[in-house]
DNA sequence: GATCTAAGTCACCACTCAGTGACACGGTAT
DNA sequence: ATACCGTGTCACTGAGTGGTGACTTAGATC
C-alpha cells in the first residue's frame, strides 16, 4: 500500500512490540502480526524469512531493557553512601522501571517457559544488564568477602520479578494484597531491611 | 472400550496430570488429553462438559501441593530453635520439595500468565498453603513486631520459585550457573544468611 | 511510452484445534 | 425376545494457523 520497504519493515517491527506488550507472546503469530501491522503476511516471509528471524530482528532492536545509567539517573542526587544503600536504591529503581515496561515483563514471562534460541538470546541480554548492575555496585563499595552478594542479589531480584509478573494475573501472594500500593510498600520496606541487615558488614 | 464410566473418568484425569507434568499447559487441549488417555474426546465433553470443568475437577483432586506437615517431616529430628532457624529450614524444604514436583511447577507457570477462573482457584489453594506455613512459623516463635515477616517471606519464596521456574529453560541468572548443584548451594547459603540476619531480632 | 523489477495482493494448501451429531454396541429390565 | 439406555466410536463442521505460488500494480530506467 505505502510501497515503501523500510517503512513496511518498521511497521511490522513495531507491531511485534505492540502485540507483545498487549497480549503477550501467546498470540504472537505471523497472522496476528500481519493483521496488527496492516500488512500482508507474505511480506513477513519476504523481509524476515519467517517468524524466528523477525523476532530476532526485534530483539536486536533493543529498548526493552534499561541501562544501568538510565536506572540510576543522576548519581549526585542519590542519597546513598554504603553498598547496602546503593543496593536498596538499585532494587527499588529496578522494580519501578520494570513495572512500566509491559513488553519487558512479557519477555520475562516468555523466557520462563520457552527455551528456544530467541529466549536464550534475550536471556543473555538480560544477564548482561544484571552483571552491569553488579559491577556498578562493586564500584560503589567493594563486596564483603564473607557475603555472596551476587547470590543475595539474585534471590532478591528474582523475588521482585516474580511478584511483578504475578500481579497481572493474580493480586495476592502469601496473604499480601498487591492490588493496592500498600502491598508493594510492604515489599519495598522488606527489601530495604533485608538489604541493610544482610549486606551491611555488621558481622565485622 | 472398558465400558466403565468411573474408570474412564479416572483415566482422563490422570492423563491431565501426566500431560501437565510432561509438556506443560501449552499442549493441554481436549484432543491431546483424549489422545493421552486413549479415550474419545467426546467423552470429555460428556463427563466433564468441556475443558474448564475437567481442569476444575483435576484441581479439586489436589495432591499437587504439599502440606506443611509433609514439608516439615518429623519435628523432633529438626535441628532448629529460633524463628529464623525454622524459616530457613522451611524455605530449604520448600525448595527441595518443589524441585520434585514438575506438575506443581507447571501450575505455577500457568498461574503466571493466565488469569482465568481456574488459575485463580489454584492460586487460592497455593495461598492457603502459604498462610499455613506462616501460621506454623508463628507457632514456633512469635513474629517480632518491628519486622514484616510475611513480606520478607513473600520476597524470599518468590525468589526461590522464580529461580526454580527459570532453570528449566535457561540455566544462568545474574551470572550464577544453576546447571550444577554449586549454583543452588550458593542460593541456599544466601537464603540462610538473609533469614538469619534479617529475622533474628538483633536490633533489640 | 514500453519495459522491467520491486512492492503489495489474493487465493490457496495442509494442518490442528474445539465442538457436535449420528451411529454401534452391550448389558438390563420388561 | 425386545425395547431401552448408558457407554463408546466415527465422521464431520468451522475456525484458525503457518506457509507458498501466482497474480497485480506502482515507479523507475531506458
Given a contact cutoff of 8 angstroms between Cβ atoms, the answer to whether B153 and B134 are in contact is: yes
Instruction: Report residue B169's pLDDT band, with 50, 70 and 90 as the boundaries.
Output: confident
Model confidence over A108-130: pLDDT tens digits? 999 998 888 899 999 999 999 99
Residue whose C-alpha is closest to residue A103's, from A21, A194, A12: A21
Tell me: pLDDT of A3 over 80.
Answer: yes
pTM exceeding the 0.75 threshold for the entire prediction? yes
Q: Which residues of B touch A202 (CB under 8 A)?
A: 197, 202
Grid-cell match 472400550, residue found: B1
Sequence-ordered list of residues with C-beta below 8 angstroms from that of A200, at least 6 positions apart, any chain: A82, A83, A84
For residue A71, give the C-alpha cell: 536506572
Q: Which residues of B touch A87 (CB under 8 A)?
A: none
User: How far B92 CA lies from chain A's nearest CA (Å)?
Assistant: 13
Distances B197 to A51, A93, A199, B87, B131 between C-alpha atoms, Å: 49, 24, 9, 12, 23
Mean pLDDT of chain B: 94
Sequence-ordered list of residues with C-beta below 8 angstroms from that of B42, at least 6 positions apart, any chain: none
CA B162 / C1′ D15 distance in Å: 37
Please report which helix (H) or strand (E) contains residue B176, including its range.
strand B176-177
Residues 99-128 of B with CB under 8 A from A: 109, 111-115, 119-120, 123, 127
Tell me: pLDDT of B204 over 70.
Answer: no
Alpha-carbon dihedral sign for residues A169, A171, A175, A181: positive
Tell me: pLDDT of B50 over 80.
Answer: yes
Tell me: pLDDT of B94 over 60.
Answer: yes
Q: What is the pLDDT of residue B35?
A: 97
Is the CB of residue B32 inside 7 Å of nucleic acid strand C? yes
Q: What is the pLDDT of residue B200?
A: 81
Sequence-ordered list of residues with C-beta below 8 angstroms from that of A59, at least 6 positions apart, any chain: A118, A121, A122, A125
> Residue B67 gets which letter from DSSP?
-
Rounded CA gap, B114 and B105, in Å?
Answer: 14
User: How far B96 CA lies from chain A's nearest CA (Å)?
Assistant: 16
In chain B, the largest separation of any two C-alpha atoms, in whole Å, equals: 70
Q: Which ranges of chain A does DSSP label H, i.e. alpha helix?
A: 5-23, 30-37, 41-48, 51-61, 68-72, 83-99, 102-113, 117-140, 149-169, 181-199
Which nucleotide is nearest to B43 if distance is taken from CA to C1'?
D8
User: How far A129 CA lies from chain B's nearest CA (Å)?
Assistant: 9
Q: What is the pLDDT of residue A169?
A: 87
Q: What angle do CA A138, A161, A140 make, to 5 degrees?
A: 15
Residues 25-54 of A with CB under 8 A from B: 26
Instruction: Report residue B1's pLDDT band, with 50, 70 and 90 as the boundaries.
Output: low
Q: Do A166 and B111 touch (CB under 8 A)?
A: yes
Please give the interface size between A and B, counted as residue pairs whose CB atoms are below 8 Å apart: 170
Is the CB of residue A39 inside 7 Å of nucleic acid strand C? yes
Amino acid at each position: 500500500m505505502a510501497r515503501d520497504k523500510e517503512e513496511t519493515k518498521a511497521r511490522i517491527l513495531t507491531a511485534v512490540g505492540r502485540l507483545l506488550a498487549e497480549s503477550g507472546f501467546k498470540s504472537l503469530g505471523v497472522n496476528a502480526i500481519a493483521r496488527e501491522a496492516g500488512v500482508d503476511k507474505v511480506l513477513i516471509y519476504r523481509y524476515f524469512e519467517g517468524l524466528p528471524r523477525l523476532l530476532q530482528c526485534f530483539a536486536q532492536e533493543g529498548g526493552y531493557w534499561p541501562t544501568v545509567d538510565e536506572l540510576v539517573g543522576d548519581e549526585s542526587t542519590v542519597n546513598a553512601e554504603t553498598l547496602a544503600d546503593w543496593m536498596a536504591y538499585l532494587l527499588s529503581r529496578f522494580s519501578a522501571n520494570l513495572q512500566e515496561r509491559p513488553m519487558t515483563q512479557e519477555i520475562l514471562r516468555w523466557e520462563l517457559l520457552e527455551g528456544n534460541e530467541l529466549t536464550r538470546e534475550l536471556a543473555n541480554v538480560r544477564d548482561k544488564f544484571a552483571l552491569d548492575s553488579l559491577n556498578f555496585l562493586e564500584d560503589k563499595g567493594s563486596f564483603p568477602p564473607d557475603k555472596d552478594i551476587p547470590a543475595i542479589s539474585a534471590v532478591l531480584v528474582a523475588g521482585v520479578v516474580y511478584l511483578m509478573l504475578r500481579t497481572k494475573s493474580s493480586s495476592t501472594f502469601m496473604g499480601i494484597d498487591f492490588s493496592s500500593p500498600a502491598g508493594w510498600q510492604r515489599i519495598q520496606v522488606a527489601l530495604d531491611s533485608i538489604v541493610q541487615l544482610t549486606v551491611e558488614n555488621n558481622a565485622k
